């Protein structure tokens, strides 16, 4: 199937910056871009041709850090936090991740899929074409695999690329209370081997209320040994140099990073590890320590942005809203924010076939009714009314 989009302003995100092409044309065959450039050099369209009416086209958006698959509800706990309880206090009171774990364990794979679909659809409606989904609320071998299978099946349900991440080392399940090393052994010796073929990467929560750097190191080492990529929740609540640890394992990304320092930034730069910033969690937790964006810029660490869609600390399904928050809260430029959900987000998932608009890459495109690309980060939510092309297929197109 051949399709051509004409009369468009392209923000290809190729090279440095937006990579703007005025009066641009994108052509695709069998889901792959065969031409992206000015109208002057475009081949003669042979298939279906769509006049974009001068609208902007960007690469499909990539949400590179989510916990989209989960059951339960945490709004009551949120009310507790509003009344003054800390993240740690809620965790120790049996709330937090463990309450989502109980609900997720009690939910079938089919029901997990059904619960996750509306969340996924909300993301897709605003231009997401690739999404990462973590496990981490099962915390047994069987329940982690159930979550990964649910995440993978969303792939077929909506013809969207789902990158799956095993986050067995998300929290210590109650049955392992006081025996964290035994649980880490379960993750390294049973979960990781069992997730082979179901998970693209392995992640862990390196934190005072999660796992120590030493325990995290064992998880990441086992993942690498199994041939899986690694990512890490690091430096969210305290400075443990988890980001440096992740970099030492060649991690695709280190995520959160409010407490990262220059040593972490240097280690990440040397390893090519992407800094994934999560402004939704920062906002929701009323965090005040800003991630060291200037250090990431100075050391040329690519910065990605994601929703961190999760029930405890970032209950959002809007990636454009995260662009706004990244600009307002973290002082990214709109251009940096857009790179953070396209080219750099692809890198955070180790995907080399997307993230920019270029010949030979996947035809994941979004056609926006905006005056300038900055408008994508300018609006505080709201209906973007965009056209979405996933793998060359038109998933939605506004009238």
Scan for tokens 């390893």, then name that residue. Answer: 271
Extract the tokens encoding 113.
């899929």
Give the binding range for Zn ion (CB under 5 A) out of 185-193, 263-271, 289-297, 307-315. 307-315
CA distance 157 to 145: 18
Give the binding range for Zn ion (CB under 5 A) out of 29-37, 240-248, 259-267, 304-312. 304-312
Name residues whose C-beta falls within 8 Å of residue 76's C-beta, 6 or more positions apart in sequence. Answer: none
* Cβ closest to Zn ion, residue 345 vs residue 395: 345
R_g of the chain, CA atoms, integer Å: 21
CA distance 71 to 312: 12
Closest CA to 57 of 25, 17, 28, 14: 25
Residues 348 and 330 sit within 8 Å (Cβ to Cβ): no
Please state whether beta strands 229-234 and 201-204 pair in parallel, antiparallel, or not at all (unpaired): parallel
Partnered with residue 158 across adjacent β-strands are none
Rule CB under 5 A: which of 283-302 touch Zn ion?
none
Residue 140: CB atoms within 10 Å: 16
CA distance 309 to 176: 27
* Cβ closest to Zn ion, residue 27 vs residue 306: 306
Give the binding range for Zn ion (CB under 5 A) out of 74-82, 219-227, 303-311, 366-374. 303-311
CA distance 76 to 95: 10
> Within its chain, how far is the Cα of 82 from the centroid?
27
Signed CA dihedral, 305, 151, 252, 184: sign only: positive
Give the binding range for Zn ion (CB under 5 A) out of 38-46, 157-165, 306-314, 348-356. 306-314
The three-state secondary structure class of 366 is strand
CB of 167 to Zn ion, least distance (A): 8
Residue 86: CB atoms within 10 Å: 12
* Cβ closest to Zn ion, residue 77 vs residue 308: 308
Given candidates 200, 287, 308, 364, which one binds Zn ion under the rule CB under 5 A? 308
Please state whether beta strands 32-38 and 20-29 pair in parallel, antiparallel, or not at all (unpaired): antiparallel
CB of 203 to Zn ion, least distance (A): 8
CB of 216 to Zn ion, least distance (A): 14
* Cβ closest to Zn ion, residue 309 vs residue 358: 309
Give the binding range for Zn ion (CB under 5 A) out of 221-229, 298-306, 308-316, 351-359. 308-316
* Cβ closest to Zn ion, residue 308 vs residue 364: 308
CB of 308 to Zn ion, least distance (A): 5
143 scored as a contact of Zn ion (CB under 5 A): no
CB of 23 to Zn ion, least distance (A): 41
Number of residue whose CB is nearest Zn ion = 308
* Cβ closest to Zn ion, residue 255 vs residue 364: 255
Please give the size of the binding site for Zn ion, defined by CB under 5 A: 1
CB of 84 to Zn ion, least distance (A): 24
As a residue count, the chain comes to 399
* Cβ closest to Zn ion, residue 344 vs residue 362: 344
CB of 160 to Zn ion, least distance (A): 19
CB of 190 to Zn ion, least distance (A): 23
* Cβ closest to Zn ion, residue 242 vs residue 391: 242
* Cβ closest to Zn ion, residue 143 vs residue 308: 308
CB of 123 to Zn ion, least distance (A): 15
Residues 220 and 184 sit within 8 Å (Cβ to Cβ): no
Q: Please give the residue ranges that form the binding site for Zn ion (CB under 5 A).
A: 308
């Amino acid at each position: 199937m051949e399709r051509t989009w004409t009369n468009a302003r392209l923000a290809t995100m190729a090279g440095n910056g937006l990579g703007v092409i005025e009066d641009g044309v994108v052509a695709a065959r069998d889901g792959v871009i065969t031409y992206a450039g000015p109208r002057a050099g475009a081949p003669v369209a042979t298939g279906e041709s769509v006049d974009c009416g001068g609208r902007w086209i960007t690469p499909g958006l990539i949400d590179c850090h989510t916990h989209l698959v989960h059951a339960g509800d945490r709004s009551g706990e949120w009310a507790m936090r509003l009344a003054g309880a800390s993240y740690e206090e809620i965790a120790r009171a049996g709330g937090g991740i463990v309450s989502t774990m109980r609900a997720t364990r009690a939910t079938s794979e089919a029901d997990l899929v059904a619960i996750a679909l509306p969340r996924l659809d909300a993301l897709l409606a605003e231009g997401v074409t690739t999404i990462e989904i973590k496990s981490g609320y099962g915390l047994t071998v069987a329940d982690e695999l159930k979550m990964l299978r649910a995440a993978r099946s969303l792939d077929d349900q909506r013809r969207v690329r789902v990158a799956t991440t095993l986050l067995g080392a998300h929290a210590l399940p109650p049955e392992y209370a006081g025996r964290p090393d035994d649980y880490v052994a379960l993750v390294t010796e049973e979960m990781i081997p069992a997730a082979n073929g179901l998970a693209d990467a392995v992640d862990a929560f390196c934190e005072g209320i999660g796992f120590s750097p030493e325990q995290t190191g064992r998880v990441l080492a086992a993942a690498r040994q199994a041939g899986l990529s690694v990512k890490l929740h690091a430096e969210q609540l305290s400075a443990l140099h988890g980001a440096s640890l992740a970099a030492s394992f060649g991690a695709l990304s280190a995520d959160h990073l409010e407490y990262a320092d220059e040593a972490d930034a240097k280690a990440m730069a040397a390893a090519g590890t992407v800094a994934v910033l999560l402004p939704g969690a920062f906002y929701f937790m009323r965090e005040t320590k800003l991630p060291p964006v200037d250090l990431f810029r100075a050391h040329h660490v690519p910065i990605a942005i994601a929703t961190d869609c999760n029930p405890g600390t970032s209950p959002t399904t809007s990636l454009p809203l995260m662009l706004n928050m990244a600009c307002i809260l973290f002082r990214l430029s709109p251009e940096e924010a857009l790179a953070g959900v396209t080219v750099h987000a692809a890198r955070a998932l180790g995907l080399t076939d997307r993230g920019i608009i270029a010949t030979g890459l996947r035809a994941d495109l979004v056609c926006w009714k905006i005056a300038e690309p900055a408008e994508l980060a300018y609006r505080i939510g709201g209906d973007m009314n965009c056209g979405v092309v996933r793998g060359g297929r038109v998933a939605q197109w506004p009238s």
